[in-house]
């Protein structure tokens, strides 16, 4: 909903959500890392991850979901070798380890295009600001690993993390990639970029001088086209995979109107041009129509939230192939939270517009990708977004595609993730029953594999398969 990046003000309490310990040794070892030496665990995790990704598996289930067509077929068989999908259906190679998930559906790993893994949900707005100022970067980093694990265990194997601070997101991404901690594959933004006093300015609402300096480019605050280019370069220098900007005001920011534009056309033009020149995709937090139109004209790749968009903005998105990431699950956290009156009014107005926005976007044929804004609600409950999208005019199959193949397209990873096909990375989840019939089963993930490594298996049987057996 908000894309609010306020890590120095927001609490980092432990979130709720699904994601018990995985059933393989790697999960059990990671569970014990708090009582073991860091160096020993790092070596063991890396060793196990490497061994697991090299294993050949034959994953069986009653069904399989094709995220490129939205169709279910039966039965389901995916062969995985060396961390990639070797085949879908067909013959099983000799020596493959069989995992039979029974009455379930094999699917690509889910993709959340809008998360904040380094922040946590806290319903106490003012208390969160104080706690955020008190918490050390080290503690926030360690607690963020819990969010990453909950997200992975909920079936989300790839995420786009769209705003952090202190490079905690970069550190998390690197630790996950190195096998030190379990978590989804992360594309990170470093700082979200916005105007002085705007939604992305972490010092707004605090008294002048309290931090000893004014926010600037190094903290994601820009006020000219040249600032925008420099901030993009700064973020990329220090590890950004994607560039996120706040084109409009936000719900949780206390000093702005939610739909007012906060960056000029020239600033957005410079920001997007620089990012695209440096081969990074872009995302714009934009609740208001005018802010979104400026971002769309600049060539932005996605509009986040889009709550108050008019039909002209939606038609522009359709014509240019701009994605909408509606973040509907924010209503869960907003409903539970205690806000100051001004913020409460913005939250209510935004939630009241969400459903109508998505229905109009669907009717106009706008591309939609799943994104949740997790941290505005508890991490690990990301799959609620599938259900909310399905209630707003997408079919169940379209909702599933928004969180798989469409998300991969938006992130520029369609050749690697988002579909079950030979050559793709072995990111595979399983849910009970048939998600095209009952979308809510996406909240009951029973199996999670990322890059050929099994992190969760709640019911599968395993055994060696003979050569030549077929689906």
Give the C-alpha separation, 159 to 116, whole Å.
9
Beta bridge partners of 76: 61
The reported pLDDT for the residue numbered 48 is 43
Give the C-alpha separation, 406 to 414, whole Å.
8
Q: Percent of the chain at pLDDT above 70?
A: 85
The reported pLDDT for the residue numbered 133 is 79
Give the C-alpha separation, 431 to 418, whole Å.
16
Domains of the chain (ranges; CATH) run: 110-411 (3.20.20.140)
The model's pTM: 0.86
The three-state (H, E, C) secondary structure of the chain, written as one string: CCCCCCCCCCCCCCCCCCCCCCCCHHHHHHHCHHHCCHHHHHHHHHHHHHHHHHCCEEEEECEEEECCCCEEECCEEEEEECCEEEEECCECCCCCEEEECCCEEEEECEEEEEECCCCCCCCEHHHHHHHHHHCCHHHHHHHHHHHHHHHHHCCEEEEEECCCCCCHHHHHHHHHHCCCCCCCEEEECCCCEECCCCCCCCCCCCCCCCCCCCCCHHHCECCCHHHHHHHHHHHHHCCCCEEEEECECCCCCCCCCCCCECCCHHHHHHHHHHHHHCCCEEEEEEEEHHHHHHHHHHCCCEEEEEEECCHHHHHHHHHHCCEEECCCCHHHHHHHCECCHHHHHHHHHHHHHHHHHHHHHHHCCCCECCCCCECCCCCCCCCHHHHHHHCCCCCHHHHHHHCCHHHHHHHCCCCCCCCCCCCCECCEEEEECCCCCCHHHHHCCCEEEECCEEEEECCCEEEECCCCCEC
The reported pLDDT for the residue numbered 12 is 28
- Phi then psi dihedrals of residue 78, to 5 deg: -130, 125
The reported pLDDT for the residue numbered 225 is 98
The reported pLDDT for the residue numbered 201 is 72
- Phi then psi dihedrals of residue 287, to 5 deg: -80, -35
The reported pLDDT for the residue numbered 210 is 77
The reported pLDDT for the residue numbered 14 is 29
Give the C-alpha separation, 423 to 429, whole Å.
17
Residues of the chain where predicted confidence (pLDDT) is lower than 70: 1-54, 203, 205-206, 460-471
């Amino acid at each position: 909903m908000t894309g609010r990046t306020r890590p120095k003000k927001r609490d980092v309490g432990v979130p709720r959500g699904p994601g018990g310990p995985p059933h393989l040794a790697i999960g059990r070892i990671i569970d014990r890392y708090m009582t073991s030496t860091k160096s020993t665990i790092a070596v063991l995790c890396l060793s196990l991850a490497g061994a697991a990704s090299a294993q050949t598996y034959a994953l069986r289930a009653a069904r399989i979901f094709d995220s490129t067509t939205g169709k279910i077929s039966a039965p389901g068989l995916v062969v995985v070798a060396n961390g990639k999908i070797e085949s879908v259906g067909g013959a099983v190679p000799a020596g493959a380890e069989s995992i039979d998930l029974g009455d379930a559906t094999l699917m690509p790993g889910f993709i959340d295009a809008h998360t904040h893994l380094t922040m946590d949900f806290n319903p106490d707005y003012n208390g969160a600001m104080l706690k955020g100022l008190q918490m050390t970067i080290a503690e926030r980093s360690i607690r963020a690993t819990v969010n990453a694990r909950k997200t992975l265990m909920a079936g989300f194997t790839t995420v786009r993390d769209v705003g952090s601070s202190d490079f905690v997101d970069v550190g998390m991404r690197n630790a996950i990639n190195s096998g030190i901690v379990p978590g989804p594959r992360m594309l990170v933004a470093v700082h979200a970029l916005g105007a002085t006093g705007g939604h992305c300015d972490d010092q707004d609402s605090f008294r002048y001088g309290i931090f000893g300096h004014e926010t600037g480019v190094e903290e994601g605050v820009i006020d000219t086209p040249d600032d925008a280019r420099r901030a993009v370069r700064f973020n990329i220098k220090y590890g950004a995979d994607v560039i996120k900007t706040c084109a409009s005001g936000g719900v949780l920011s206390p000093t702005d109107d939610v739909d007012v534009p906060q960056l000029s056309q020239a600033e957005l033009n410079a920001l997007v041009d620089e990012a695209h020149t440096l081969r990074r995709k872009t995302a714009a937090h934009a609740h208001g129509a005018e802010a979104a139109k400026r971002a769309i004209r600049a060539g932005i790749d996605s509009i986040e939230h889009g709550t108050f968009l008019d039909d002209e903005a939606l038609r522009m998105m359709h014509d240019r192939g701009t994605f909408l990431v509606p973040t509907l699950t924010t209503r869960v956290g907003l409903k539970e939270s205690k806000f100051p009156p001004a913020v409460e009014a913005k939250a209510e107005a935004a939630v009241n517009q969400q459903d109508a926005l998505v229905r109009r976007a669907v009717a106009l044929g706008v591309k939609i990708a799943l994104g949740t804004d997790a941290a505005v609600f508890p991490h690990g409950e990301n799959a609620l977004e599938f259900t909310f999208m399905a209630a707003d005019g997408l079919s169940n199959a379209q909702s599933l595609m928004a969180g798989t193949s469409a998300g991969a397209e938006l992130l520029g990873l369609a050749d690697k993730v988002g579909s079950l096909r030979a050559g793709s990375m072995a990111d595979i989840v399983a849910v009970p029953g048939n998600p095209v019939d009952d979308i809510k089963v996406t909240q009951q993930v029973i199996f999670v594999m990322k890059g050929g490594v099994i992190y969760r298996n709640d019911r599968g049987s395993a055994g060696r398969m003979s050569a030549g057996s077929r689906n």
